[in-house]
Amino acid sequence: MRCLVTGATGYIGGRLAPRLVVEGHEVRCLSRSAARLRDVPWASDVEVVEGDLSDPSTLPAAFEGIEVAYFLMHSLGKPDFERRDREAARNFAEAADRAGVRRIVYLGGPQPPADGTQSAHLRSRAEVAQILLDGPVPTAVLRAPVIIGSGSASFEMLRYLTERLPVMVTPRWVRNRIQPIAVRDVLRYLIGCAGLPPDVNRGFDIGGPDVLTYLEMMQRYARVAGLPRRRVKPLRPLTPWLSAHWVGLVTPVPSAIARPLVGSLIHEAFAHEQDILEYVPGETLSFDEAVRRALGKIRDAEVETRWSTASGLDPVAEPLPSDPDWSGGTLHQDKRAGRVNAPAASLWRVIEGIGGDNGWHSIPLAWSVRGWADRLAGGVGLRRGRRDRDRLQVGEALDWWRVEEIRPGELLLLRAEMRVPGRAWLEMRAVPDGPDRSIYLQRAIFLPRGLAGQVYWAAILPFHGLVFGAMVRNIARAASAPPRDSDDHVRPATPRSPAASGR
């Protein structure tokens, strides 16, 4: 089928478009700026058309020949988002009708309460749904509560609140019941709705198998993330307005987005029916499993997941380049670079030879102290050394590191196995800068776990200039020096080719 995806630069649309392609559909994406989709991995697999749902004159080219149109945009965070979304829905429905579209699919929010106390966020979602359902094109509305996946605003709010506050005073709405759903299952339902019978024009509640309070979600998130049980005291005076500012203070989720989300949490949100299973059958992921995938916590594998790529298990749950900057958890980095008066081949020889008896080209005492501290804490310290003096391969131990990725002549990525409150990596790159010069790029990456991880990073930050700064200077100096063999004769440095390395 020929599908149109609006909101392809957003959280759900950016994950849906490539999966529709995998399912064999022809995909066209509507965006106000085609440049925003230029660098996504799936850009060459879709057609991108520029247009604006607030300007009907820009829509005919986007809808031409389309059979199924996905309405996935919203203006949440803008002062007049209700008016903007109402106008966009009307223009979308009219353009779809004129183009002969057979099906509209809309992802909305949970059904607002009947007592009229709904938040502006839920009221707007329900209004958009009704506009589309009242139009001439058959429409399927999926009503989703909290979506679990890295990058989802609701999940990021849950992540940051839980990780940063081991003890917290919370609003009373943390005891409201919610039926969260994994982003993988949301996408499966969205794709499945493309094949609904033409007489289906209605809304469907969707949710995962677990109905939990927000407090239970925080406690279970903490357990999956390996954090201590959170101590929480609900407090009545914390109104939704105060709660939104509290969330904005504790988390990087912008207050303009936090306010409508918090407003929707004052109501219980769970599925009142499961009719969608008649058309799109299948089991949904549990809350714990959804969190596990969002965090990339895949067990029983030495080197299966990487911080820099989506996991092989469920990449849809992990961060994408199109996700907002505040999504994906806190990421601390120490970036450094040094110019080397030698070709990249000589620099790579030093990078691949690092560690073990060869040392770390830094302050030996500092590395020794850190190694002994790790052993006292029950870690591996520096005692493992390295398997081979000159060569490394993926998966092997290197002192307190594990080789997670290696591209001969270019990149070495090490994952820390020392005792730290989080996950840490060290990335080293050799970049050519002419026939006789190169650039050494070094990056230390740390994903903290809980408040202890934040404190740990702040505590070691003053030492980075000494340890990592010396490392850059000494590696550059070692690469510039002529290599010597065991008889102390100068020998040429030749990089190992992928073929020679057996990979």
Assess whether pLDDT exceeds 60 at residue 238. no
Pick the CATH number of 2-317 from 3.30.360.10, 3.40.50.720, 3.40.50.2020, 3.30.450.40: 3.40.50.720
Global pTM exceeds 0.85: no
* 114 CB-near residues (< 8 Å, 6+ apart): none
**N- to C-terminal Cα distance for the chain?**
40
Average pLDDT of the residues in 32-45: 86
Specify the pLDDT at position 300.
32
Specify the pLDDT at position 384.
75
Specify the pLDDT at position 498.
35
Question: pLDDT category, 236, cuts 50, 70, 90?
Answer: low
Average pLDDT of the residues in 6-29: 93
99-108, 262-271, 455-464: the lowest-pLDDT one: 262-271
Q: Which stretch, 315-319, 330-334, 404-408, has highest mean pLDDT?
A: 404-408
Assess whether pLDDT exceeds 90 at residue 454. no
DSSP string, 374-431: HHHTTS-TTTT-BSSSS---TT-EETTEEEEEEETTTEEEEEE-SS-SEEEEEEEEEE
Specify the pLDDT at position 311.
32
Specify the pLDDT at position 382.
66
**Percent share of the chain, pLDDT over 70:** 77
Closest by alpha carbon to 308, among 326, 333, 280, 286? Answer: 333
The ranges assigned to domains in the chain are: 2-317, 332-501
Q: Which stretch, 25-34, 257-266, 351-360, 373-382, has highest mean pLDDT?
A: 25-34
Average pLDDT of the residues in 85-93: 95
Q: Which stretch, 204-218, 388-402, 443-457, has highest mean pLDDT?
A: 204-218
Phi (first) and psi of residue 405, to 5 degrees = -155, 145
Average pLDDT of the residues in 385-409: 86
* 248 CB-near residues (< 8 Å, 6+ apart): 254, 255, 258
Predicted confidence (pLDDT) per residue in 61-86, tens digit? 999 999 999 999 887 666 787 899 99
Average pLDDT of the residues in 277-306: 74
- Residue bearing the bigger pLDDT, 423 or 59: 59
Question: pLDDT category, 252, cuts 50, 70, 90?
Answer: low
Specify the pLDDT at position 383.
66
Specify the pLDDT at position 90.
96
- Are 255 and 214 spatial neighbours (Cβ–Cβ below 8 Å)? no
Assess whether pLDDT exceeds 50 at residue 462. yes
Predicted confidence (pLDDT) per residue in 52-63, tens digit? 999 999 999 999
Average pLDDT of the chain to the nearest whole number: 82
**Percent share of the chain, pLDDT over 90:** 42
Assess whether pLDDT exceeds 50 at residue 492. no
Specify the pLDDT at position 448.
84
Q: Record the tokens describing residue 251, joined without a space.
A: 């988390």
Phi (first) and psi of residue 68, to 5 degrees = -130, 130
- Residue bearing the bigger pLDDT, 305 or 23: 23
Specify the pLDDT at position 312.
36
Predicted confidence (pLDDT) per residue in 112-154, tens digit? 666 655 667 778 889 999 999 999 999 999 999 889 988 788 8
Specify the pLDDT at position 303.
31
Closest by alpha carbon to 260, among 247, 279, 275? Answer: 247
Q: What is the CATH number of domain 332-501?
A: 3.30.530.20
Specify the pLDDT at position 271.
82
Neighbours of 404 (CB within 10 A): 22
Question: pLDDT category, 364, cuts 50, 70, 90?
Answer: confident
Collapsed DSSP state (helix, strand, coil) of residue 345 = helix
Average pLDDT of the residues in 478-492: 61
Strand-pair partners of 50: 31
Q: Which stretch, 31-45, 211-225, 472-486, has highest mean pLDDT?
A: 211-225
Specify the pLDDT at position 194.
95
Neighbours of 421 (CB within 10 A): 18
Assess whether pLDDT exceeds 50 at residue 357. yes
Assess whether pLDDT exceeds 50 at residue 28. yes
Question: pLDDT category, 305, cuts 50, 70, 90?
Answer: very low
Question: pLDDT category, 230, cuts 50, 70, 90?
Answer: confident
Assess whether pLDDT exceeds 80 at residue 158. yes
Q: Can you say whether residue 207 is alpha, beta or left, with left for phi > 0 and alpha for psi between -120 and 50 degrees?
A: beta
Assess whether pLDDT exceeds 60 at residue 500. no
Helix axes 287-295, 183-192, angle to 10 degrees: 100
Instruction: Report which secondary-structure segment, H or E, holds 30.
Output: strand 26-31
